[in-house]
Amino acid sequence: MSKLPVVRDFMDKVVPTLKPDAPMLEAVDFLLKNHVTGAPVVNDAGEMVGMVTEKDCLRLLSTGVDGDYPRGTVKEFMTTKVDYVAPNMNVYFVAGMFLQASFRRFPVLENGKLVGAITRFDILRAIQAGLKSAG
């Protein structure tokens, strides 16, 4: 029996991150610059403490009152309950997780530290690799 593909084989190993004390306007710039819909938030110890998504950024706009420019930090707006996967998890199982999730990426944590991210696109690459090796 051949080895099942795992997250580590297809994940993005370089993942841009944000710090909790960064201004939210910086987070908006960050997402736009990196062409991503969300980014992990890590503390100085490299531990993931949350995720900032486009939706979190939209909430920023709702904080402006009477034409005031909206303000706030990443830790005030980030999502703290974040689903994640392990690098040794089977990609077929992760594909099933994506079918249940509304978001497009899972952070990959190993021993509490962020080591990568896997996206729906990465799962497509796993499918393609599996089909090519089967044919």
Mean pLDDT split into 10-residue runs, the chain, 135 residues: 81 94 94 92 93 89 68 92 95 94 90 92 88 60
Exposure letters 116-128 (e unless 16+ CB within 10 A, then b)? bbbbeebbeebee
- Is residue 83 classed exposed, middle or buried when 0-12, 13-18 and 19+ CB atoms within 10 A define those classes? exposed
Three-state secondary structure call for residue 78: coil
Which 8-state DSSP code applies to residue 111?
A: T
Which structural domain, as residue segments, surrounds residue 90?
Answer: 7-134
Residue 115 forms part of a structural domain:
yes
pLDDT value, residue 2: 58
Residue 61 gets the label, from left (phi > 0), alpha (psi -120 to 50) or beta, of alpha
Domain count, the chain: 1
Please state, as a whole number, how many other Cβ atoms lie within 10 Å of the Cβ of residue 36: 18
Find, among 72, 41, 43, 50, the residue nearest to 59 by Cα.
Answer: 72
**In-domain check, residue 69:** yes
Q: Is residue 25 part of a domain?
A: yes
Is 2 domain-assigned? no
Asked whether residue 123 is domain-assigned, the answer is yes
Say if 86 falls within a structural domain. yes
Kindly report the number of other CB atoms within 10 A of residue 27's CB atom: 25
DSSP state of 12: B
The answer to the question of residue 90 being in a domain is yes
Please report, for the domain that includes residue 120, its CATH number.
3.10.580.10
Number of Cβ within 10 Å of residue 73's Cβ equals 15
pLDDT on residue 1:
40
The CB density around residue 38, as the number of other CB atoms within 10 Å, is 22
Asked if 106 contacts 117 with a C-beta cutoff of 8 angstroms, the reply is yes
